[in-house]
Amino acid sequence: MIDLTSMSKPQSVAVVGASPKPGKIGHTILNNVISSGYGGKIFPINPKEEEIAGLKAYASVSEVPQPVDLAVIAVPAARVLDVARDCGQAGVKSLVVITAGFKEVGAEGLELEKQLVETCRKHGMRMLGPNVVGIIDMHTPLNASFSATSPQKGEIAFLSQSGAMLVAILDWSTQVGLGFSKVVSLGNKADLSEIEFIEDAAADPNTKVILCYIEDIVDGPRFLDVAARAARQKPVIVIKSGTSQAGAQAASSHTGALAGSDLAYDVAFRQCGIIRAHSMTELFDLAVAFAKAPVPKGNRVAIVTNAGGPGIITTDNVEAKGLQMARFDKDTIEELRANLPAEANIYNPVDVLGDAKADRYRFALEKVCADPNVDSVVVLVCPVGVTQPVETSEAILEMCKKFPEKPIFAAFMGGESLAGGASMLAKAGVPCFTFPEPAVASISGLVKYNEILETPRDDGTNGLPSFDCKGVKAIFYDVIKDNRLVLLGSEAAEVANCYGIPAAPVVLATSPEEAAEEADKMGYPVVLKVASPKILHKTDVGGVKIGLKTAEEVRQAFTEIMDNVHGYMPQAVIYGIEVQKMMPKGTELIIGMTRDVQFGPLIGFGLGGIYVNLLKDVTFRLARGLNTREIEQMLRETKAYTLLRGYRGEKPRDIEALVDTIRRVAALVNDFPEIAEMDINPVFAYENGLSALDIKITIS
Amino acid sequence: MIDLTSMSKPQSVAVVGASPKPGKIGHTILNNVISSGYGGKIFPINPKEEEIAGLKAYASVSEVPQPVDLAVIAVPAARVLDVARDCGQAGVKSLVVITAGFKEVGAEGLELEKQLVETCRKHGMRMLGPNVVGIIDMHTPLNASFSATSPQKGEIAFLSQSGAMLVAILDWSTQVGLGFSKVVSLGNKADLSEIEFIEDAAADPNTKVILCYIEDIVDGPRFLDVAARAARQKPVIVIKSGTSQAGAQAASSHTGALAGSDLAYDVAFRQCGIIRAHSMTELFDLAVAFAKAPVPKGNRVAIVTNAGGPGIITTDNVEAKGLQMARFDKDTIEELRANLPAEANIYNPVDVLGDAKADRYRFALEKVCADPNVDSVVVLVCPVGVTQPVETSEAILEMCKKFPEKPIFAAFMGGESLAGGASMLAKAGVPCFTFPEPAVASISGLVKYNEILETPRDDGTNGLPSFDCKGVKAIFYDVIKDNRLVLLGSEAAEVANCYGIPAAPVVLATSPEEAAEEADKMGYPVVLKVASPKILHKTDVGGVKIGLKTAEEVRQAFTEIMDNVHGYMPQAVIYGIEVQKMMPKGTELIIGMTRDVQFGPLIGFGLGGIYVNLLKDVTFRLARGLNTREIEQMLRETKAYTLLRGYRGEKPRDIEALVDTIRRVAALVNDFPEIAEMDINPVFAYENGLSALDIKITIS
């Protein structure tokens, strides 16, 4: 883990390009550094000035007589490289390069950016930027940015790849009373990226939740490692833009980012425990929830309301979000029954009725919170005649104190008449909304995080045997020497065998006699298929013969296939004919792999056969770190799973063998990055064991 | 259409139970009637008072010397019936019964409610309630409710089955500046329901959009008729609670409403052109959108932004909502290129850059709005240094005037620094949000409504031939006489034939000879199946023989089946053995019907065969009014459609015949409400024609 102290908690800061003129970025930055209450040394750098804002100015960083931890650079792009060199020579530890005009403006800018990174490397400096708004740490305190708004101090770290988004959020945050621990504008991410700042924020005792707006990820594997560790320390919530086809185009024209496919991001975030937000509102609702509320121990929600309709809507929402309506203990129900009016609904949602004052809310809330079958609570208040919003808020706050392990969220459904109560809750840090839906959505986020925390870590390598890597290498060597990228079926089966993937026996024969001999060895019936990388649709050219039951049939089929193929495609290079044992029909599955540019191999599993593209019953995981539990979860997500467990009276299939095989496929594609694509379709699953019938491997 | 003038625009109002004591409901109601500025006559009714609020009070309605249009009743439940009778005798036209304590409290209350309805019927009065907050018409003006808040005048009609929800929304609305034309608390809906008030609001010139919160629908067919007509006059947006299993329980314990299945509601709303909101926020965002913005002509959205990141997020949202990013005309692109800075993005999303002042926004907006490929526009403003929020708002308002047919929505992403501009837009009626997502969601709602408007009306009966109803009746008569509810396969095929549904030939035979004769007639091969309503799994008892090719095989199979079945189930009543012609294998489909308690028969279509429950590729429509266009849409929603169009090189299937058959099935189940369930699985679809193989019909 790298040390970002010199950036977020520096002993001294130089502002290069500091200016006495209001309106200049260099003026705003210096002003922000000073007015943020920063306690270290501040050095304005400007060759034309003697003094700025009452501080002695220097012509260059190297002229500063004291050590400089952090230099914030806001000079024209053409001068940035010189300034960086000067900083390097002066022993500056960190740079924040505000200046734009680098990678984002084209090839020339990219070249300049590369030189800038080299300069930093040479002098051992780390750099944020270029093209950033700056960095703010509210607990240092230090505002080294040109943001017009200084945020409130709080517990949310916010990292943003979009500067405008960051500025917009800061402006908005002061209005809604949201506070931050750190705010980092990531810009072009030429050196430091979200990875280092996520790691830094995870270790920061002042940060309770980490928020990221990102458009791309530069180093997928490292991101996954860091994020997976960070996510177990505190919640990491990401909004990743560029999910759409058109959005990805806009993203790349904007920051030159190469957007990975959205599926891979989805899978990657999920696997490393990142919570993905799908709108700005969701992002900040979750931020507040995590900053203010405890993480519940489970997904059972209780609702206390003074009106039926809102209770029903909230119940709908609880189910729609995959949460459960808590079923109360008998004791809870008895106590509610004994003490609430007869017309009250004492089951969940608890309806304390329209004439409920604060004391009735307090009573019901206390009983519900104390129930061991309740993990979190939503309180709904409608402004009917006798409602006591302020006193009801007090009751809610009491319960928050008394049951600190259970999140309590409120929806005060109204305006002016409830404002006093609602603002009391907000001030005390209890999330309070106008409508119930965001309250439920927030609880759903907390519950998701609890599931992440409760998932044991397991990188998937436990108990894996060692595989015959040498065997695989030897096969690939031959394929490459033969100037091919696609393996023959027999080669792919050999590769599979090296990793213990149960391939159906298949052997390449070059003569009718050899084919018959091989068939005799493996046992009948067999299939013969022409082996030629150029022939994609073997059946169409008469290149396949099935159900061969004797050596004689095999010899004859061999000759027929050769004749057919020569007839249809006289110029095709034929490697021979594959003899494959016909396996008994099992449940048809597919196991496949596609490689994502950011996150590496993705393993797919689902219903196989010729309808695989039609039914689209395929679920994905990153091969990296794929463990047994995740594979089992993967199976459960598919319709194929219903078949595997025994559909319509059939015997269950060998799920254990299937999980094992998927692990082996993952190990294979992790070990050999040269495998570009792999498809096993179909895999036949039996009551005992599997058979991988048609294995396709493409290398790069 | 009934006339609700005496309720929403009465000449005179009596408040029964009017009270001089603040805090009493009868006090609040009278006060609201007076202070709403109501221009008609007001009569407080209270036997103990001479005068209330400066108005002469009467002991009963019948003592009022002038005609009373509307009586608002707020006396204890036990006295309501007497009051209603008195009103009836006095010639009152409409009642609003505020009083609770009827259906919602149990059997006794239900009885009282029935008597109340009878009293109204007897005297020709219409009634809103009981158990309501009241009714408000802001344009009469008349506030005949006990709501503590008087809403602002506006163009939204809001109907709510939950009184608390209504009160909450009114309280909230004044804070956010939302105005209403009408507000109706529906309560127990003993007489008038959402149906009459939707119809009334549709005809009301002061209402632009109709909002409903409903928990159940009492008269499904009438609701569909009225809503379908209303939805073509103005948008009808409904939030229907009780969608979840648990929610439905809460709903029925709350108002004793019998909740229909959510699927049926979804299908019904869609088919009659209602827009369904899924959260309170969405409901009111859509309300504002429809009240303030024009309905766009299509789904092509343009984005103008001063920052890349928010532009990308918005683009993602546009695609996620099924809208399209507009592709600009060449001219538009050229003009943008010529007049915007070189770094600006001139394609959609248009990025006018962070240094854009109002004039650049105005220029870009004007070009984009004028582009014929743009149907609606989202303007994003981030508070970067030079932003001119107020002037930019002025530019937006200019464009709204200049292009009144294109909705322009704004997201002013910030707080204080943009507040001036944002509130200017809000005041001028241009929807302005903090984040872009709700802007896009609103446009998506408008686009959906445009599609509803553009869909030609067609009740599905055009060109349908007349069917052999008598034939069907005769079969049902025999089945009922036989004390059965499930038709034999041969009977079901006969029913199908009466409606021109292409059933595979099947005949019931009672002897080996008869079976052989029938097989000879229909041609070989044939299948024999035991016909016995008690035997559900015919194969399991040896009750099926397939692939019979000669008369001799048929005779033998008949005897074997009889022996098998007698062996397994000696006590089963056997009607004979069905001889069915084996049809060539086609694409396996299912056509089925299930009956919803509120909306009648639902037709399902999708992939058939034994995996139908596994694949769940089935889509539904109401049989009522099902037309060719809807059926075609239905087919397109399924994966089966990919097969039908010719999958992997296969020839396309006879889609026309399929559509025709679904229409015929719909006609059959519409004509015969006694058909409780119907399943045709599989239907084989061929290149030419179909064959309905296994038809199951259950009657009630």
Domains A5-289 and A587-699 share a fold: no
> Which ranges in B530-579 belong to alpha helices (H)?
551-568
Does residue A356 have a pLDDT over 80?
yes
Minimal C-alpha gap between A415 and chain B (Å): 4
Considering only CB atoms, which chain B residues are within 8 Å of A309? 160-165, 213, 215, 241, 254
Does residue B451 have a pLDDT over 90?
yes
Average pLDDT (A642-662) is 92
The pLDDT, as a whole number, for residue B139 is 97
Higher pLDDT, B572 or A511: A511
DSSP state of A261: P
Average pLDDT (B463-470) is 90
Cβ of A527 under 8 Å from any chain B Cβ?
no
The pLDDT, as a whole number, for residue B258 is 35
- Which residue from A minimizes the CA distance to B607? A615
The pLDDT, as a whole number, for residue B34 is 97
The secondary structure of B447-515 as a DSSP string is HHHHHHHHSPP--S-TTPPP--HHHHHHHHHHHHHTT-SBPPHHHHHHHHHHTT--BPPEEEESSHHHH
**β-bridge partners, B580:** B506, B527
DSSP state of A206: T
Give the A:B interface size as CB pairs under 8 Å: 246
The pLDDT, as a whole number, for residue B460 is 81
Average pLDDT (A137-165) is 95
Pick the CATH number of B587-699 from 3.30.470.20, 3.10.450.50, 3.40.50.300, 3.30.565.10: 3.30.470.20
CA B443 to chain centre: 19
C-alpha dihedral sign at A443, A444, A449, A450: positive
C-alpha dihedral sign at A444, A449, A454, A460: positive
CB-based contact A168 B280, cutoff 8 Å? no
The Cα–Cα gap between A197 and A212 comes to: 10
What is the residue type of B131? N
Does residue B254 have a pLDDT over 50?
no
Bond prior to B525 in cis (omega within 30° of 0)? yes
Contacts of B591 (CB under 8 A, 6+ apart): B603, B604, B605, B661, B662, B665, B680, B681, B683, B692
Does residue A391 have a pLDDT over 80?
yes
- Residues B525-573: pLDDT tens digits? 999 999 987 787 788 888 999 999 999 999 999 999 999 998 888 888 8
CB-based contact A167 B239, cutoff 8 Å? no
- Residues B335-379: pLDDT tens digits? 999 999 998 999 999 999 989 999 999 999 999 999 999 999 999
A212 confidence band (pLDDT: 50, 70, 90): very high
Cβ of A420 under 8 Å from any chain B Cβ?
no
Average pLDDT (B260-265) is 76
Does residue A451 have a pLDDT over 70?
yes
Burial of B307 (0-12, 13-18, 19+ CB in 10 A): buried
DSSP state of B647: S
Choose the mutation target among B27, B316, B440, B536 for the interface with A, i.e. most A CBs under 10 Å. Answer: B316
Q: What percent of chain B has pLDDT over 90?
A: 82
A244 confidence band (pLDDT: 50, 70, 90): low
ipTM of this predicted structure: 0.89
- Which residue from A minimizes the CA distance to B643? A614
Q: Could you count the other beta carbons within 10 Å of the beta carbon of residue B584? A: 7
3-state SS assignment for residue A516? helix
A156 confidence band (pLDDT: 50, 70, 90): very high
CA B189 to chain centre: 19
The pLDDT, as a whole number, for residue A261 is 66
CB-based contact B345 A250, cutoff 8 Å? yes
Instruction: Judge contact between A594 and A676, C-beta under 8 A.
Output: no
Average pLDDT (B218-226) is 92
Q: Which two tokens stand for residue A13?
A: 């800061």
Instruction: Judge contact between B504 and B484, C-beta under 8 A.
Output: no
Cβ of B50 under 8 Å from any chain A Cβ?
no
B248 confidence band (pLDDT: 50, 70, 90): low
The pLDDT, as a whole number, for residue B144 is 97
- The 3 state secondary structure assigned to A468-491 is CHHHHHHHHHHHHHCCCCECCHHH
Of A63-77, A459-473, B30-44, give the lowest mean pLDDT range.
Answer: A459-473
Minimal C-alpha gap between A79 and chain B (Å): 21
Q: What percent of chain A has pLDDT over 70?
A: 97
> Which ranges in A523-580 belong to alpha helices (H)?
551-568
Cβ of A266 under 8 Å from any chain B Cβ?
no
Considering only CB atoms, which chain B residues are within 8 Å of A354? 164
Does residue A227 have a pLDDT over 90?
yes
Does residue A250 have a pLDDT over 60?
no
Residues 560-579 of B with CB under 8 A from A: none
Q: Could you count the other beta carbons within 10 Å of the beta carbon of residue B221? A: 15
The pLDDT, as a whole number, for residue A204 is 96
3-state SS assignment for residue A641? helix
CB-based contact A309 B215, cutoff 8 Å? yes
Does residue B147 have a pLDDT over 60?
yes
Cβ of B387 under 8 Å from any chain A Cβ?
no
Of A223-232, A254-263, A588-597, B415-424, give the lowest mean pLDDT range.
Answer: A254-263
If you average pLDDT over every residue of chain B, what do you get? 92
Work out whether strand B324-325 and strand B300-305 pair parallel, antiparallel, or are unpaired.
parallel
- The 3 state secondary structure assigned to A35-97 is HCCCCCEEEEECCCCCEECCEECECCHHHCCCCCCEEEECCCHHHHHHHHHHHHHCCCCEEEE
Cβ of A162 under 8 Å from any chain B Cβ?
yes
Average pLDDT (A227-240) is 96
Give which of A309, A299, A255 is closest to A132, Cα–Cα.
Answer: A255
Cβ of B255 under 8 Å from any chain A Cβ?
yes
Domain boundaries, chain B: 5-289, 294-454, 469-581, 587-699
- Which residue from A minimizes the CA distance to B386? A23
Q: Which two tokens stand for residue A390?
A: 């302020």
Minimal C-alpha gap between A413 and chain B (Å): 5
**β-bridge partners, B619:** B605
Q: Which of A312, A436, A648 sits opposite B610 (nearest CB)?
A: A648
Cβ of A253 under 8 Å from any chain B Cβ?
yes
Pick the CATH number of A294-454 from 3.60.21.10, 3.60.70.12, 2.40.160.10, 3.40.50.261: 3.40.50.261
What is the residue type of B654? D
- A627: number of CA atoms within 13 Å, CB side? 13
A249 confidence band (pLDDT: 50, 70, 90): low
Does residue B244 have a pLDDT over 70?
no
Q: How far is residue B312 from each of residues A218, A227, A245, B361, B453, measured CA to CA in Å? A: 18, 24, 10, 18, 31
- Residues A586-610: pLDDT tens digits? 999 999 998 888 888 999 999 988 7
The Cα–Cα gap between B621 and A607 comes to: 28
Choose the mutation target among B102, B152, B283, B312 for the interface with A, i.e. most A CBs under 10 Å. Answer: B312
Q: How far is residue A650 from each of residues A645, A687, B84, B537, B539, measured CA to CA in Å? A: 8, 10, 66, 15, 15
Q: Is B242 left (phi over 0), alpha (psi -120 to 50) or beta?
A: left
The secondary structure of B78-125 as a DSSP string is HHHHHHHHHHHHTT--EEEE----SGGG-HHHHHHHHHHHHHHHHHT-
Cβ of B311 under 8 Å from any chain A Cβ?
yes
Tell me the fold of B5-289. Answer: Rossmann fold (3.40.50)
Q: Which of B174, B319, B345 sits opposite A416 (nearest CB)?
A: B174
CB-based contact A382 B167, cutoff 8 Å? yes
Average pLDDT (B678-695) is 94
3-state SS assignment for residue A278? coil
DSSP state of A388: -
If you average pLDDT over every residue of chain A, what do you get? 92
Choose the mutation target among A316, A324, A412, A639 for the interface with B, i.e. most B CBs under 10 Å. Answer: A316
Tell me the fold of B469-581. Answer: Dna Ligase; domain 1 (3.30.1490)
Residues 355-384 of A with CB under 8 A from B: 382-384
Residues 70-109 of A with CB under 8 A from B: 105
Does residue B253 have a pLDDT over 50?
no
Considering only CB atoms, which chain B residues are within 8 Å of A238? none
C-alpha dihedral sign at B560, B563, B569, B574: positive
Cβ of A386 under 8 Å from any chain B Cβ?
no
Minimal C-alpha gap between B22 and chain A (Å): 12
Burial of B229 (0-12, 13-18, 19+ CB in 10 A): middle
The pLDDT, as a whole number, for residue A255 is 34
Q: Which of A171, A309, A647 sits opposite B416 (nearest CB)?
A: A171
